[in-house]
Chains A and B, each alone.
Chain A
Amino acid sequence: ADDLTLQLKWVTQAQFGGYYVAKDKGFYEEEGLNVTIKPGGPDIAPVQVLAGGGADVTVEWMPAALAAREKGLPIVNIAQPFKKSGMMLTCLKESGVADPKTDFKGKTLGVWFSGNEYPFLSWMNHLGLKTDGSPEGVTVLKQGFNVDPILQKQAACISTMTYNEYWQVIDAGIKPEDLVTFKYDDQGVATLEDGLYVLEEKLNDPAMEDKLVRFVRASMKGWKYAEEHPEEAAEIVLENDETGAQTIEHQARMAGEIAKLTAGSNGALDEADYKRTVDTLLSGGSDPVISKAPEGAWSSAITDKALQ
Chain B
Amino acid sequence: MSTTQLSERLHGATRWRLPRRQLPVLVSLGLLLVMYGIGVSQYRAFSNIQVIFNVFIDNGFLLVVAVGMTFVILTGGIDLSVGSVVAMTAMVSAALLRDGLPPALVLLIALLIGPTLGFVMGCVIHFFEIQPFIVTLAGMFFARGLCTWISSSSIPITDGFWTSAAQERIRIGDNFVTVSVLITLVVVAVAAYTLAYTRLGRNVYAIGGNQQSALLMGLPVGRTRIAVYTISGLCSAIGGILLSFYTLSGAPLIAVGMELDAIAAVVIGGTLLIGGAGYVLGTVLGVLVLGVIQTLITFDGTLNSWWTKIVIGGLLFAFIVLQRLLGFRKKSFSTR
Please determine whether chains A and B interact with each other in the same assembly. Answer: no
By a beta-carbon cutoff of 8 Å, the part of chain B in contact with chain A is none
